[in-house]
C-alpha cells in the first residue's frame, strides 16, 4: 500500500485493508420457471465511478495545441470518442487541457490515452511542473491505457495539463496523439483521515505512490 494510507507513513508494514466485495447467486430449476424476475443489465450493476472526468475532445481549437490539427474522433474503445492530434512533426507539437479544482482533497491525476502504430512520445506537465517519465504511445494495434501521473492535495484554482512531443518510437509511423480524458481520481478515505501529505508541496516534489 502507499505510505500515505498507513498511520505510520510506512509501505512495508501491516495495514488494515479497505476492500470492495461483491457476490453472485445462481438459481437452477427444471421445467417451467416459477417467476419472471431477471437480474439488471451489467451496465446497471457497475460500481460508481470515482473519477472526475475532463473530456479531452472538448479542446480541439487552436488555442489548445501547437502545429497541426486536432479533431474529435470516434473510436470503438471509447463510448464518446477521443481527441486526435496530428502534428506535422516533433517541433512545436503540444496539447493543453485546462481544468479547475474547487476543493482541497487527496486525488490522483491520470490520463486515459490511445495507443497506435503512428503515435509519438510525449512528456506531461502540470502548471509547468514535469511529471513522471516520457509517455510512449506507440502500439502495433489500437488500444487504450491509463497513465498515472501524480498523487497530490491540489489547492483550489485553475490548472493546465500539457503534453509536449519529445519524439517517437523508432518503429512508429508518426508523432500523433490520442487522449480520451484527464481524470482526477479520489483516493481512499484513510488518505484523508491520516493527512500525511496535506501540506507537502507537489510542485517541488511531485510524487506518484506505487
pLDDT digits (tens, 9 = 90+) for 131-154: 999 999 999 999 999 999 999 999
pTM for the whole structure: 0.86
Q: Please report the sign of the dihedral spanned by the C-alpha atoms of residue 48, residue 72, residue 175, residue 166.
A: negative
- Greater pLDDT, 115 or 28: 115
pLDDT digits (tens, 9 = 90+) for 71-105: 999 998 898 999 999 999 999 999 999 999 999 99
Other C-beta atoms lying within 10 Å of the C-beta of residue 174 = 16
Judge whether 69 and 61 are in contact, CB under 8 Å: no
pLDDT digits (tens, 9 = 90+) for 14-68: 666 667 778 888 888 888 877 777 778 887 877 778 899 999 999 999 999 999 9
Query: How far apart are the C-alpha atoms of 107 and 4, rounded to whole Å?
Result: 12
Domains and CATH numbers, the chain: 48-194 (2.60.120.260)
C-alpha neighbours within 13 Å on the C-beta side of residue 180: 22
Which residue in 103, 156, 104, 158 sits closest to 126, CA to CA? 158
Amino acid at each position: 500500500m502507499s505510505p500515505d494510507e498507513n498511520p505510520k507513513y510506512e509501505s512495508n508494514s501491516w495495514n488494515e485493508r479497505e476492500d470492495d466485495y461483491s457476490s453472485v447467486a445462481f438459481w437452477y430449476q427444471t421445467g417451467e420457471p416459477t417467476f419472471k424476475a431477471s437480474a439488471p443489465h451489467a451496465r446497471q450493476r457497475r460500481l460508481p465511478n470515482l473519477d472526475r472526468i475532463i473530456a479531452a475532445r472538448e479542446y480541439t481549437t487552436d488555442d489548445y495545441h501547437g502545429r497541426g490539427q486536432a479533431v474529435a474522433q470516434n473510436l470503438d474503445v471509447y463510448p464518446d470518442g477521443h481527441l486526435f492530434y496530428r502534428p506535422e512533426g516533433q517541433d512545436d507539437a503540444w496539447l493543453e487541457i485546462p481544468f479547475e479544482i474547487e476543493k482541497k482533497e487527496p486525488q490522483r491525476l491520470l490520463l486515459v490515452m490511445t495507443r497506435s502504430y503512428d503515435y509519438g512520445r510525449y512528456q506531461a506537465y502540470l502548471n509547468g511542473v514535469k511529471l513522471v517519465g516520457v509517455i510512449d504511445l506507440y502500439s502495433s494495434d489500437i488500444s487504450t491505457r491509463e497513465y498515472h501521473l501524480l498523487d497530490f492535495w491540489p489547492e483550489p484554482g485553475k490548472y493546465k495539463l500539457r503534453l509536449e512531443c519529445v519524439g517517437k518510437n523508432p518503429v512508429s509511423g508518426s508523432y500523433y496523439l490520442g487522449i480520451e480524458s484527464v481524470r482526477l481520481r479520489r483516493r481512499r478515505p484513510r488518505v484523508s483521515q491520516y493527512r500525511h501529505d496535506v501540506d507537502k508541496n507537489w510542485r517541488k516534489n511531485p510524487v506518484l505512490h506505487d
